[in-house]
């Protein structure tokens, strides 16, 4: 049994004084020696945290005991070591950046696409009247995606609303949306419904849950994750590598961040090119004076941003 776990989760729910809650929640996580990245907004909570099995259980029990977060669905991975180095918990305008901040129009707590459990999704995805829609960014679906999925040319999820007109030809189809853990689908499916799509569904728990409960069938490639693992296996039924090295074109599933911090682009690169270019996407970035040392992983710790912590902190109850 592995000693550590990584938890992926989100919950759309109203949080009063969310900035203060973020500060208090950070101290709580540090008190039980968790590491990870959590975003807190007025609209809810979104995080990936990692630590010992005991610490992760304490965290889940505490979060679920709070009525606001009682329906939080935790995706749990057993890992050999913590998936982060530091603990961050920050207040932001949204728990996933979409630019859709008008709750009168888009409010996942009130209306989203119908949630499909992994086995339901698997049974529906190949029907003639169904379109599978990947709502993730280019670098994510380039690494791995469902067979026959429709993808959009977006650098970030905030670009999704501007691309929605490209999907108009599918309005007479059932739209099955998916993403890593489900959070992006909440707003994507809500927007599709708002734009007149009649039958919109979303994969509950995302790709990660689908891998655990449906064997990942027909998910081709690996799944990008937002921690130091960068990419994880999903498909244990019919796995296939679909991504290629940006530099030489060789088949590879290794995802890295460019070693030049002013670039920091996410891309796939084989080990040979990685060492040749010191983990950079190009010779230009390799020559950059701020280039970070490359250790073969392509993962770099972000510099933490300051968080205002009150003198009297209260753990969530």
Residues recognised as catalytic = 179
Phi-psi region of 17 (alpha: psi -120 to 50; beta: other; left: phi over 0): left
CB distance 270 to 254 below 8 Å: yes
Cα 255 from Cα 266, distance rounded (Å): 7
Cα 200 from Cα 192, distance rounded (Å): 7
CB distance 279 to 263 below 8 Å: no
| For the chain, the helix, strand and coil percentages under 3-state DSSP, each to the nearest 5 | 30, 20, 50
CA distances from 196 to 40, 84, 141, 256 (A): 30, 41, 26, 38
Cα 274 from Cα 252, distance rounded (Å): 11
Reading the block at residue 313, the tokens are 């902190």
CB distance 20 to 310 below 8 Å: yes
Cα 196 from Cα 185, distance rounded (Å): 16
Torsion 138-143-148-149 (CA) sign: negative
Instruction: Give the H or E element holding residue 223.
Output: strand 223-224
CA distances from 97 to 59, 100, 184, 222 (A): 25, 8, 9, 23
Q: In b/e form, how buried is each residue of 220-251, taking b as 16+ CB within 10 angstroms?
A: bbbbbbbbbbbbbebbeeebeebbbbbbeeee
């Amino acid at each position: 049994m592995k000693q550590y776990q990584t938890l992926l989760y989100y919950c759309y729910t109203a949080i009063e004084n969310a900035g203060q809650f973020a500060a208090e929640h950070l101290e709580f996580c540090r008190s039980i020696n968790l590491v990870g990245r959590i975003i807190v907004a007025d609209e809810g909570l979104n995080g990936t945290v990692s630590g010992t099995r005991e610490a992760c259980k304490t965290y889940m029990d505490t979060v679920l005991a709070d009525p606001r977060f009682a329906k939080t669905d935790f995706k749990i991975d057993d890992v050999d070591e913590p998936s982060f180095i530091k603990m961050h918990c920050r207040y932001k305008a949204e728990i996933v950046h979409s630019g859709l901040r008008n709750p009168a129009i888009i409010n996942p707590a009130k209306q989203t696409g119908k949630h499909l459990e992994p086995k339901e999704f698997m049974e529906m995805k190949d029907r003639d009247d169904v379109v599978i829609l990947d709502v993730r960014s280019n670098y994510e679906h380039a690494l791995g995606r469902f067979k026959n999925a429709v993808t959009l040319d977006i650098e970030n999820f905030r670009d999704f609303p501007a691309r929605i007109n490209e999907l108009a030809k599918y309005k007479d189809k059932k739209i099955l949306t998916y993403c890593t853990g489900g959070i992006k689908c909440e707003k994507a499916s809500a927007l599709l419904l708002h734009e007149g799509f009649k039958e919109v569904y979303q994969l509950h728990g995302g790709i990660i849950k689908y891998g655990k409960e449906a064997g990942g069938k027909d998910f081709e490639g690996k799944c990008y994750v937002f921690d130091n693992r960068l990419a994880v296996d999903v498909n244990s039924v019919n796995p296939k590598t679909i991504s290629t090295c940006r530099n030489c074109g060789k088949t590879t599933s290794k995802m890295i961040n460019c070693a030049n911090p002013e670039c920091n682009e996410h891309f796939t690169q084989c080990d040979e090119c990685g060492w040749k270019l010191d983990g950079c996407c190009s010779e230009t970035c390799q020559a950059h004076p701020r280039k970070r040392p490359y250790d073969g992983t392509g993962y770099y710790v972000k510099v933490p941003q300051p968080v205002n912590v009150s003198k009297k902190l209260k753990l969530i109850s």
